């Protein structure tokens, strides 16, 4: 099979490897669509170092090719989305549904090879069958949507609450969609680029503001004490302090952005508002339905509205161009997908 490996920061190389075979409890998936995540770009730039030859990609969907011994509930040809974890299933975190916090977890594209290859073997418990309304392209979007669902469940978003979303990249726009689906009655968003503003408006944001000091102040006034703020920018941005400015007294902040350096917040604001800050790491099963199951249902109901988030498509042998496009918002990119 063909594999695209990260040779060095900013550079990929095409390799040929033997196609894997599923063992007991595993499935072989023929990957069809892999999204470029913002965290992937940190690795691509060299901000989070990886050894040469690592295979990125964790937003994956495809078709079941073969099943290992003991796997039931799936058949070859089924379209599936993939959770990125392999976990122990026996520790306290796994037993409680917080398998994303498993001390021995392995994550596709992070500490084990990811989806920039034609075939992948995964544990069968990481598979989610896609409904007819959700093809493999949209299926690959379910992974970042599950991240947003998890972040909103952590802060216990309630029906009728007001939500502010900082950032209008893929995660910000999906947080907007998830907040609406989970009961928010008002959602305001900050956006840095015109194409992000247009997409936020198309997805039903009540108000969109510039991602600058004036925009944050305008959002603060419009939100009138946001019950929940979702931070989606990370990097080296000041958005955690912005979140404290926007959130209302007793409000909650869900941090989804991956920060690349320590950030400062003003403790007196945190203190006076009695705000609560939640770090949110991927997704799990906090109740009868997993975050991923809920994300797929939201995707099914919003498939037509969310498809325009996929702005660019590249074949596997043009992965480097795909990553450079995703890294340059002047390209108009929101979500870049690699088609296999």
* DSSP codes joined into one string, 95-161: HTT-GGG-TT-EEBTTTB--SSBSEEEEEGGGEEEPPTT--HHHHHHHHHHHHHHHHHHHTT--TT-
Domain ranges of the chain: 2-145+284-339, 149-279
The length of the chain is 340
CATH class given for the domain over 2-145+284-339? alpha beta
CA pair distance 159, 154, nearest whole angstrom: 15
Distances (CA, A) of 101 to 87, 122, 243, 334: 9, 18, 25, 29
Q: Which two tokens stand for residue 288?
A: 């009868």
**Cβ of 102: how many Cβ atoms within 10 Å?**
20
* Res 329 pLDDT > 90: no
> Which residue bears the tokens 């975050």?
291
Computed over every residue of the chain, the mean pLDDT equals 96
Three-point CA angle 115, 279, 330, nearest 5°: 55
* Res 140 pLDDT > 90: yes
Report pLDDT for 70. Answer: 97
Res. 270 pLDDT band, cuts 50 70 90: confident
Dump strand ranges (E) for the chain. 2-8, 11-16, 26-35, 59-67, 79-82, 85-86, 106-107, 119-123, 127-129, 162-166, 186-191, 207-210, 226-231, 247-255, 276-279, 310-315, 335-339
Distances (CA, A) of 271 to 139, 242, 277: 41, 15, 12
Q: Name the CATH superfamily, with its identifier, for domain 149-279.
A: NAD(P)-binding Rossmann-like Domain (3.40.50.720)
User: How many DSSP H helices and E strands does the chain contain?
Assistant: 11, 17
By CB atoms closer than 10 A (0-12, 13-18, 19+), residue 69 is exposed
Res. 3 pLDDT band, cuts 50 70 90: very high
Q: What is the pTM of this model?
A: 0.96
Q: Does residue 336 contact residue 322 with C-beta atoms inside 8 Å?
A: yes
Instruction: Summarize the confidence of residues 285-311 as an average pLDDT.
Output: 96
CA pair distance 59, 41, nearest whole angstrom: 13
Nearest one of 155, 116, 111, 109 to 34, comparing CA atoms = 116
Tell me: the pLDDT tens digits for 200-247?
999 999 999 999 999 999 999 999 999 999 999 998 899 999 999 999
CA pair distance 243, 108, nearest whole angstrom: 31
- Quote the longest CA-to-CA distance of the chain: 59
Helix (H/G/I), strand (E/B), else coil: 168:
coil
Report pLDDT for 9. Answer: 94
Distances (CA, A) of 323 to 59, 67, 138, 315, 328: 14, 32, 19, 12, 9
């Amino acid at each position: 099979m063909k594999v695209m490996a990260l040779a060095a920061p900013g550079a990929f190389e095409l390799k040929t490897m033997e196609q894997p075979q599923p063992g007991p409890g595993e499935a072989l998936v023929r990957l069809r669509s892999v999204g470029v995540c913002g965290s992937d770009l940190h690795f691509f730039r060299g901000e989070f170092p990886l050894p040469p030859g690592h295979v990125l990609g964790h937003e994956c969907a495809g078709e079941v090719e073969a099943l290992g011994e003991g796997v039931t509930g799936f058949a070859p040809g089924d379209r599936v989305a993939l959770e990125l974890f392999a976990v122990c299933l026996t520790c306290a975190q796994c037993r409680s549904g917080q398998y994303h916090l498993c001390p021995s977890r392995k994550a596709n594209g992070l500490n084990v090879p990811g989806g920039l290859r034609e075939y992948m073997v995964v544990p069968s418990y990481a598979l989610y069958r896609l409904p007819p309304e959700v093809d493999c392209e949209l299926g690959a979007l379910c992974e970042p949507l599950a991240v947003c669902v998890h972040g909103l469940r952590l802060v216990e978003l309630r029906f009728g609450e007001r939500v502010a979303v900082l950032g209008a990249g893929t995660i910000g726009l999906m947080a907007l969609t998830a907040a609406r689906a989970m009961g928010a009655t008002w959602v305001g968003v900050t956006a840095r680029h015109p194409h992000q503003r247009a997409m936020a408006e198309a997805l039903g944001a009540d108000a969109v503001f510039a991602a600058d000091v004036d925009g944050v102040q305008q959002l603060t006034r419009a939100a009138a004490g946001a019950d929940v703020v979702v931070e989606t920018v990370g990097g080296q941005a000041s958005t955690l302090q912005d979140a404290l400015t926007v959130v209302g007294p007793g409000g909650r902040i869900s941090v989804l952005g991956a920060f690349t350096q320590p950030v400062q917040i003003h403790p007196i604001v945190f203190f006076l508002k009695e705000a609560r800050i939640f770090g949110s790491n991927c997704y799990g099963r906090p109740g009868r339905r997993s975050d991923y199951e809920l994300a797929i249902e939201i995707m099914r109901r919003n498939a037509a509205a969310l498809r325009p988030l996929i702005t660019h498509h590249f074949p596997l042998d043009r992965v480097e161009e795909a990553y450079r496009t995703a890294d340059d918002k002047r390209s108009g990119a929101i979500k870049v997908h690699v088609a296999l």
